[in-house]
Amino acid sequence: MSCNDEQNNCAKNHVVFGSGKVVSCKCIVPDSVKHIIENQSSGGVYHLVLKMDKNVSLPKSGQFYMLRNKPSKVLLSRAISVYDFDENEHTVDFLILKKGNGTAELCSVEKGAQIEVLGPQGNCFDKPLSNEKVAIIGGGIGVAPVAGFAITLPSFSYDFYACFKTGSYGLEKINANKLIISTDDGSVGIKGMLPIVFNEKTIIENGYSCVYACGPEPMLKYVQKLCSKTGIKCFLSMEARMACGMGACLGCTIATTEGNKRCCVDGPVFSGEKIIFAEKKILPKSSINVVQKTLPVNNVEPSLSVTIAGVKFENPVIAASGTFGYGHEYETVFDINALGGICSKGLTLEKREGNTGIRLQETASGVINSIGLENPGIESFIQNQQRRMLELKPVTIVNLSGSSIETYVKGAELLEKTSVPMIELNISCPNVKAGGMAFGLQPEAAFEVTEAVRNVTTKPLIVKLSPNAPDLIAVADSVRKAGADALSLVNTFQAMAIDVEKGSLIFDNIKAGLAGPAIKPMALRMVYDVCQYMKNLNEKERIPVIGLGGISSWQDAVEFIMVGASAIQVGTSTFANPHCMIQIIEGITDFMKRKGYKSLEDFRGII
């Protein structure tokens, strides 16, 4: 890209899930040297070199990979920017700041160990025109991606500014016209931070026309303001917390003048003039007796198909709403046509920008999310995503949410005119201030919204219930009486998180939704309770239940089916293991063969 281009349009590589073998992992800044980044104490900096599997493509400058140890004690992979790569050896170099449990694991690997790899991901830095005067700026660990970019440029064609708290690293391969190093403690180069060495006077005197930068957000905000003032272009490599890295979960959005953009797929490189940096907020402080039945073993290939409300699924594994986008996001990672169904991202009548502030917080065996139902709106879905989603083999289920009964009804009316085979009515989202979960907490409200939607659509209607309801059975029965064809439960549990160092709340909305393996036992119990209630009804009055909540293995899925679930949905675990759902399908199949089960009915509800 030249500095005159509007945005980064470089082609993205084919993202795959594979592994890399550790060639070396060396500490280049000792753990004893403490860096202060965003008010958090951190350890050293490590240089990790991975020899990628043959199916894993090499990156372009500016891209990143999602990395996780095998095995790992953390749920999510970590997004690590590329520092360098070797085409002949098929290796990729990373500089990693040891900051938390995930990066600590990556920094402690031994030669020959295997690392899970998802990538390469994101867009890239495109090279400037030959007549442009370029400044490249790296701050702290943000030196890695811009140093990797600088390496690809002709020698002496750029000036490089590197700023650190203390010491320096990642500059060995830099061949700049000017290499200016500054450190906060004066240990290397000029004492002081970026404004000391890079300011309005610097830009004018050197005649820069374009700036590329990566580093802490305050530094990038300074660069953006400075470039705007002097009238030159800048391109910023941004960072955000990620879960999937594939653009499906919307946890890593960056506010721009064109609306929210996903850091993982729309970035990480953005035109600086389009970034909207949030003003720092001072968050308020906190005040703070079963027998399993089995059949004789046989060699018959089992059937995993299930029919729910007249719709046939080839198998009971469904991608949960909010975790899988619209399906096609994961097409290059595994055969998504092997799934039974796909629930769309939650859709509302009007476009929603979602919640402000931090949207994801990893916790023990789970993730707390505060996405806030960001989505393009139902009409946009119908025009842009519906056709592609319906072309996929899995059953398409559209997740419908709203802020009022009127918006639910109008949304359902629009979907009624489409070829979408099923609707999942979401009355259980805890991450919106109006509507959402409010309709799913009390039987009367749940009945009213379900009946209103039922009256305007003939499509099979699944109602998604909240585990936060004081009387879940009463809510389930009310939506059944209002015309629901099936139930899905549970949605996320209300939760919260605190930054103990700052003594402040993590989420702008205070409360958010907990998902992942941590909630599985509670979700299983709730599915069991509802299924037991259904068993006590006359057969014609019963409706099927789809179980979800923390399912990450075939054993989890079988448990839900054994307590009565007709099918299951998988969400957060896909972030940790993109092949999770395929492994669940294979595991259920092997289990049924081993037990001699011919169909899911042979063990459904045996508990």
Cβ neighbours of residue 168 closer than 8 Å, sequence gap 6 or more = 162, 181, 183, 188, 189
Q: CA–CA distance from 134 to each of 1, 149, 210, 565 (Å)?
A: 13, 12, 5, 60
CB neighbours of residue 510 within 10 Å: 14
Helices 520-535 + 554-562 axis angle, to 10: 30
| pLDDT of res. 432 | 54
Note the pLDDT tens digit of each residue in 124-168: 998 999 899 999 999 999 999 999 999 999 999 999 999 999 999
For the chain, give every residue range classified as CATH 2.40.30.10. Answer: 1-280
Find the helix or strand (DSSP H, E) in which 575 lies.
helix 573-576
- For the segment 365-384, the average pLDDT, to the nearest whole number, is 96
Q: Which 8-state DSSP code applies to residue 602?
A: G
| pLDDT of res. 428 | 84
Q: Report how far residue 509's alpha carbon sits from residue 504's, in angstroms, rounded to the nearest whole number.
A: 12
> Which residue has better confidence, 298 or 23?
23
| pLDDT of res. 298 | 52
| pLDDT of res. 300 | 73
Q: Say if residue 268's pLDDT is above 90.
A: yes
On whether the CB atoms of residues 119 and 65 are closer than 8 A, the answer is: yes
Q: What angle do CA 571, 242, 556 make, to 5 degrees?
A: 25
On whether the CB atoms of residues 518 and 366 are closer than 8 A, the answer is: yes
- For the segment 397-423, the average pLDDT, to the nearest whole number, is 97
Q: Say if residue 3's pLDDT is above 60.
A: no
Q: What is the DSSP string of 296-356?
A: ----PPPB--EEETTEEESSSEEEPTTTSTTSGGGTTTS-GGGSSEEEPPPB-SS-B----
Rounded to the nearest integer, the mean pLDDT of the chain is 92
Q: Report how far residue 72's alpha carbon sits from residue 530's, in angstroms, rounded to the nearest whole number.
A: 35
pLDDT band for position 576 (cuts 50, 70, 90): very high
| pLDDT of res. 292 | 43
Q: CA–CA distance from 466 to each of 68, 70, 478, 491, 513 (Å)?
A: 32, 34, 13, 5, 11
Q: Say if residue 61's pLDDT is above 50.
A: yes
pTM for the complete prediction? 0.85
- Catalytic annotation present for 429: yes
Domain over 317-591 is classified CATH 2.60.40.1180: no
- 3-state secondary structure at position 451: helix
Q: Report how far residue 10's alpha carbon sits from residue 302's, in angstroms, rounded to the nearest whole number.
A: 47
CB neighbours of residue 538 within 10 Å: 6
| pLDDT of res. 30 | 87
Note the pLDDT tens digit of each residue in 176-231: 999 999 999 999 999 999 999 999 999 999 999 999 999 999 999 999 999 999 99
On whether the CB atoms of residues 487 and 465 are closer than 8 A, the answer is: yes
| pLDDT of res. 285 | 41
Find the helix or strand (DSSP H, E) in which 480 lies.
helix 472-481
Q: How many residues does the chain have?
A: 607
Q: What is the DSSP string of 482-500?
A: TT-SEEEE--PEEE--EET
For the chain, give every residue range classified as CATH 3.20.20.70. Answer: 317-591
> Which residue has better confidence, 222 or 38?
222
Active-site entry in 214, 249, 429, 580:
429
On whether the CB atoms of residues 123 and 63 are closer than 8 A, the answer is: yes
- For the segment 482-508, the average pLDDT, to the nearest whole number, is 96
Burial profile 252-283: b = 16 or more Cβ within 10 angstroms, e = fewer: bbbebeeebbbbbbbbbbbbbebbebeeeeeb
- Give the CA count within 13 Å in the CB-facing half-sphere of 79: 25
pLDDT band for position 437 (cuts 50, 70, 90): low
Q: Say if residue 521's pLDDT is above 50.
A: yes
64-69 β-sheet, strand order? 78-81, 64-69, 114-121, 16-29, 45-52, 91-97, 84-86
Note the pLDDT tens digit of each residue in 329-343: 999 999 999 999 999
φ/ψ of 407, rounded to 5, equals -70, -35
Q: Say if residue 529's pLDDT is above 90.
A: yes
| pLDDT of res. 288 | 33
Distance of CA 318 to the CA centre of its chain: 18
pLDDT band for position 14 (cuts 50, 70, 90): confident
CB neighbours of residue 363 within 10 Å: 14
Sign of torsion, CA 228 232 235 236? negative
Could you tell me the two tokens for 364?
Answer: 């023990």
Cβ neighbours of residue 240 closer than 8 Å, sequence gap 6 or more = 251, 252, 253, 254, 263, 264
Note the pLDDT tens digit of each residue in 114-132: 999 999 999 999 899 989 9
Q: Which fold has domain 1-280?
A: Elongation Factor Tu (Ef-tu); domain 3 (2.40.30)
